[in-house]
Structure 1
Amino acid sequence: MNVLVDMNLSPDWVPVLQRHGWSAVHWSTIGDPRATDRTIMDWAAANGYIVFTHDLDFGALLALTRATGPSVLQIRVDDVLPDYLEGVVIAALKQHDADLASGALVAVDESKSRVRVLPI
């Protein structure tokens, strides 16, 4: 699975994801840091990436457009640093691998995750 880390998350997520076997890039290394969410979504869809974000707008964008992709992994916690959240994120990626591969919005917090199959 290819993971695009959104601007609102630390680039420190990239080596964490890579260490667990995923291909990962931070948006700041491939695109304009001021790019719109739509631009980021379009790039992810065109290049076979899921979007990993803390931004609720990505879920809203999926709902408004009834898009079938790209998949979005959305974390819904205050502390979004890998030191705190690595285990939760890695577990969610493993648990929902098939859903993310086929098109889903996965919302994750410290205690649970929720999957909505696309389109929503």
Structure 2
Amino acid sequence: MKILVDMNLSPRWADYLKEAGLEAAHWSTLGPPNASDREIMAYASSEGYVVLTHDLDFSSILAATQGGWPSVVQVRSDDVSPKAIGSPVFRAIRQMEAELTEGALITVDPGRVRLRLLPLRR
């Protein structure tokens, strides 16, 4: 599984995920820093990436388009550094790898993880 780390998260996330055994890249190494969320979603979809973000716009795009891919992992925490919430994020990605491969929205809070399968229904 390939993880695309959104611009609103530190490039340290890509390093953290690589050290944990995942293939990961920060958007700053793949495309323009001013790319829209839709552009990032389109790239992730065409290249087979799961998006890791702190931005709620990605789930809004999935809901509005009823898209089935790419999968999105949202980090919802005051401290979004890998040091603070990296372990729960990594565990969620590993535990829900099958769902992410098929199409899912995962939200990781410090105290819980929520999973919604794609496409999102109203």
Q: Any residues of structure 2 matched to 1:104-119 within 5 Å, and which?
A: 104-119=104-119
Structure 1 position 81, deviation (Å):
0.5
What amino acid sits opposite 1:96 in the alignment? M
Aligned twin of 2:78: 78
Structure 1 position 67, deviation (Å):
0.4
Structure 1 position 18, deviation (Å):
0.6
Q: Secondary structure at the match of 2:86?
A: helix
Q: Deviation digits for residues 94-120 of structure 1, max 9, x if unmatched?
A: 111111011000011011111110000
Structure 1 position 88, deviation (Å):
1.0
Q: Distance in 1 between matches of 2:44 and 2:33?
A: 15
Q: Distance in 1 between matches of 2:66 and 2:77?
A: 25
Q: Any residues of structure 2 matched to 1:94-109 within 5 Å, and which?
A: 94-109=94-109
What is the RMSD of the two structures over their aligned residues, measured on CA atoms? 0.6
Q: Distance in 2 between matches of 1:85 and 1:23?
A: 19
Structure 1 position 83, deviation (Å):
1.1
Structure 2 gaps of 5+ residues are none
Structure 1 gaps of 5+ residues are none
Aligned twin of 1:61: 61
Q: Distance in 1 between matches of 2:2 and 2:87?
A: 18
Q: Distance in 2 between matches of 1:51 and 1:87?
A: 17
Q: Secondary structure at the match of 1:8?
A: coil
Q: Secondary structure at the match of 2:78?
A: coil
Q: Distance in 2 between matches of 1:13 and 1:19?
A: 10
The ranges of structure 1 where at least 4 consecutive aligned residues each deviate by more than 6 angstroms after the TM superposition are none
Aligned twin of 1:35: 35
User: TM-score when scaled to structure 1?
Assistant: 0.98
Q: Distance in 2 between matches of 1:101 and 1:3?
A: 11
Give the % identical residues: 50
